[in-house]
Amino acid sequence: MPPSVTFVISSCSVQESKSTGMATKKLGMDFVKQMSEYASGSNGFDRVLRMIKITGGGDGRAIGEFTVANEHLNRQGTLHGGLTATIVDNCTTYALMSKGSHPGVTANLNVSYIAAAKPGEIIEIDCHTVRAGKKMAYLDCILRRKSDGKIIAKGGQVKYIQFDKEKLDF
């Protein structure tokens, strides 16, 4: 996942927050967009997520969508489970970071595959932060077919996050 250190977010909409248990700044949809672009702009494995367009989010949530294409398929001609898992991994992290948290490290990832997604279908991604405490974060993600809302997959991850005020002041 993106580092918590070197990048600069210049234009994100920052809201002040008084939450004591969590971060001091909550970040808006612009921030989620920038995180997504920053990640998938790399030559690393994040590049496989270039097709995702962020459509909403901020303050612990990340919403996006993409159209299933040939390069996303398994040998049975449907959305590859490994790509689904990669989406869950990254997009929940964008959601977490929009709470003002640094990305942390994943301890556990879990995905249930509920229905197949086919080429040409638009899939909506909706991730949210269930809890981001001082040490651990719990994140959920759901993938739905846009045309009728049918759930394609559900998953989430547990991350270790070292709460650290300095790091949150981007």
Closer of 18 and 75 to its own copies (Cβ): 75
| Nearest alpha-carbon partner for 170 in 54, 9, 23, 3 | 9
Q: How many residues bind its own copies (CB under 8 A)?
A: 54
Interaction between residue 168 and its own copies (CB under 8 A): no
- Binding to its own copies by CB under 8 A, coded x per residue (else -) over 11-50, reads ---------------------------xx--xxxxxxx--
Q: Which stretch binds its own copies (CB under 8 A): 10-18, 22-30, 57-65, 149-157?
A: 149-157
In the list 15, 19, 67, 112, the residue contacting its own copies (rule: CB under 8 A) is: 112
Burial of 80 (0-12, 13-18, 19+ CB in 10 A): middle
List, as one string, the DSSP characters of 22-40. S-SEEEBHHHHHHHHHHHH
Taking CB under 8 A as the criterion, the residue among 82, 118, 122, 169 binding its own copies is: 82
Q: 2 near 103, Cβ under 8 Å? A: yes
Q: Which one of 26-34, 51-59, 102-110, 120-128 is the stretch in contact with its own copies (CB under 8 A)? A: 102-110
Query: Rounded to whole angstroms, how far apart are CA atoms 42 and 109?
Result: 22
- SS3 for 148? coil
Q: Using alpha carbons only, how large is the chain's radius of gyration in Å?
A: 15
Which residue, 58 or 103, is less far from its own copies as judged by CB? 103
**Terminal CA-CA length for the chain:** 16
In whole angstroms, how close is the CB of 38 to its own copies at the nearest point? Answer: 7
Q: Measuring CA to CA, how many Å separate 27 from each of 67, 80, 146, 161?
A: 27, 31, 26, 17
Please identify, among the stretches 10-18, 24-32, 56-64, 73-81, the one whose residues bind its own copies according to the rule CB under 8 A: 73-81
Q: Which residues bind its own copies (CB under 8 A)?
A: 1-3, 38-39, 42-48, 70-77, 80-83, 85-87, 89-90, 103, 105-116, 130-131, 135-136, 138, 140, 151, 154, 156, 158, 160, 162
